[in-house]
Structure 1
Amino acid sequence: MSNALRVAQGTFGRVALLDMDRPLVRHAHPHCHVLLKVEGADTKFWVRDDLVPLTSESAVLVNAWESHAYAHDPRRPPTIILALYIEPRWLAEFRPNWTASGRPGFFAEAVGTITPRIRALADTMARTMVSEPEAQHLHEILLSDLMIAVIERFTPWRDSAVSLRDLGRGLSVDRRIRAVAARIDEDPGAVGHIDDLITATTVSRAQFYRLFEASFGVSPRVYLNAARLERAVRAVSDSDASLSVIGESLGFSVPSHFSRFFHDHAGSSPSVFRAVTRCTRDLETPR
């Protein structure tokens, strides 16, 4: 079963070292998302409608709110993947126009050939997460070097800084759709059905879906699931609430449904994810 080997979290977002032997459902993240193979079989991801390879020589590059899915082949051995979920505000500390990493089009292509430096940095990051899980400051230094190398390799930030700044100013979102997104972000567990959101906007169902996807690039259901996942990750990592209580707060009346949702979106069971993050936190706490 796929599970997290290590998870590092901070102002940068999070980095997960995942041992993957099963597919993930189509989903999205509000992050700049980079996937690098560390060990095991070559594999593939769906990014929007393209099936792209993840190998020792290539990275999969997913823009914020870009739908994607892991397409594991059950006939092949597992793959250890370094999955980076990076906050645009953290990247903006390096270059102001890197705030555009939170918008569509930051990565022009969904896959690219990595440099020997990116390969070495990814391997070092993965090894350090395993051997020194408590070294949060070192993790952030290594991640800084890795993300700078990735962005310099795969985005035209030097040549098109003005267009990236324009992109970073955001998209024009219909006020009704903005209100719906704010409602989801505030309490994703309180959203029972998408139809309830549609009713509140006074627009037709077809228009609602059209406006929502034009604004965020994903369907309302994918957006809602992303909000649920981010809330779940924080609760599983930081709170002492039982997994059943966390699941219920997010709208899952059956604990197994919450566990399946978490595993299908995060690549790990919530219990293992909690154990890994708790282990790291305990190591960081002075005795």
Structure 2
Amino acid sequence: MSNALRLARGSFGRVALLDMDRPLVRHAHPHCHVLLKVEGADTQFSVAERVVPLTDESAVLINAWEPHAYAHFEGQPATVILALYIEPSWLGEFRPNWKASGAPDFFPDPVGATNPRIRSLSRILAEAMVRDPGNEAEHERLLAGLMIAVIERFAAWRDTPASLRLAAASAVDHRIRKATKTMRADPGAVTDIDRLASDVGLSRAHFFRLFEASLNVSPRIYLNVVRMERAVAAVAEGTASFATVSDGLGFSAPAHFSRFFHDHVGSSPTTFRTVSALTRDRF
């Protein structure tokens, strides 16, 4: 069963070392997302409409809010994956226009050929997370070196000023902004997407078309992203029971929440909380 081996969290976002042997459902993240193979079998991800390889020589590169899924095939051996979920504001501390990592075209291609430096830095970071799981400062230092190498090699950050890229990404219809505000305010209370469309003054068909045209994801995927990020924070940082977290996010039963978490995050909530505690309990 797929599970988290280690987790690092901080102002940079989060880094998960995942042992993957089962698919993940189609989902998205509000960060730029980089996947690097550490060991095990070569594998593949579905990004937008393409299936792209994750191997020793290739990285998978996913833009913020870009739908993707882990396309693990039945009987395929497991793969240890270093999954980076990186906050644009943290990257902006290195170069101001790296804040554009939150825009939809930061990585022009969903797959890129790695080099020896990226492969070495990936392994070093993964080993540091295993050896010293609570050393956030060291993890952040190693992650900085890795992300600089990744962006310099793969991102189109020089092509367009960040202000224009971010401005284009933020041009969202006011009714869609109202819908996303409702979802973020209380994702557990949004139980009927058709009712949400009506509440913002749109027919169902128009709402779905306009939502996906504006944000590149369907309303359901957007809502699941919000629920997933709240779930990750609650499981990693909190002490609330999973039943309480489940209820607060609108799941009808804790078992449904556990399945949702595993299908989106790649780990059971129990294991995710356990590896998160390794970080918190260092001192």
Other-structure match for 2:94 = 94
Task: Give the Cα separation in 1 of the matches to 2:50 and 2:19.
Answer: 23
Other-structure match for 1:31 = 31
Other-structure match for 1:215 = 214
Quote the offset at 1:161 in angstroms: 4.3
- Tell me the secondary structure at the aligned position of residue 134 of structure 1: coil
Contact preservation (8 Å) 1:184, 1:191: yes
Mean Cα displacement is larger for which, 196-205 or 54-63?
196-205
What are the equivalent positions in structure 2 for 1:127-206 lying under 5 Å apart?
127-158=127-158, 160-162=159-161, 164-169=162-167, 170-206=169-205
Task: Give the Cα separation in 1 of the matches to 2:157 and 2:27.
Answer: 27
Quote the offset at 1:187 in angstroms: 1.2
Other-structure match for 2:111 = 111
Quote the offset at 1:186 in angstroms: 1.4
Q: 1:194-232: CA deviations, max 9, x gaps? A: 112111111111110111111110000000000000000
Structure 1 segments (4+ residues) deviating >2 Å: none
Other-structure match for 2:57 = 57
RMSD of aligned residue pairs (Cα, Å): 0.9
Contact preservation (8 Å) 2:100, 2:157: no
Task: Give the Cα separation in 1 of the matches to 2:166 and 2:277.
Answer: 35
Contact preservation (8 Å) 2:100, 2:166: yes
- Tell me the secondary structure at the aligned position of residue 34 of structure 2: strand
1:280 counterpart letter in structure 2: T
Other-structure match for 2:18 = 18
2:58 counterpart letter in structure 1: S
Other-structure match for 1:250 = 249
Quote the offset at 1:124 in angstroms: 0.3
- Tell me the secondary structure at the aligned position of residue 247 of structure 1: helix
Unaligned runs of 5+ in 2: none
Other-structure match for 2:7 = 7
Is 1:261 equivalent to 2:260 in the alignment?
yes
Percent of paired sites with the same residue: 61
Task: Give the Cα separation in 2 of the matches to 1:276 and 1:69.
Answer: 23
Task: Give the Cα separation in 2 of the matches to 1:156 and 1:165.
Answer: 14
Quote the offset at 1:157 in angstroms: 2.3
Task: Give the Cα separation in 2 of the matches to 1:110 and 1:148.
Answer: 18
2:249 counterpart letter in structure 1: L
2:199 counterpart letter in structure 1: A
Contact preservation (8 Å) 2:31, 2:85: yes
| TM-score normalised to structure 2 length | 0.98
Task: Give the Cα separation in 1 of the matches to 2:218 and 2:262.
Answer: 21
1:82 counterpart letter in structure 2: L
| TM-score normalised to structure 1 length | 0.96
Mean Cα displacement is larger for which, 221-230 or 184-193?
184-193
Contact preservation (8 Å) 1:97, 1:168: no
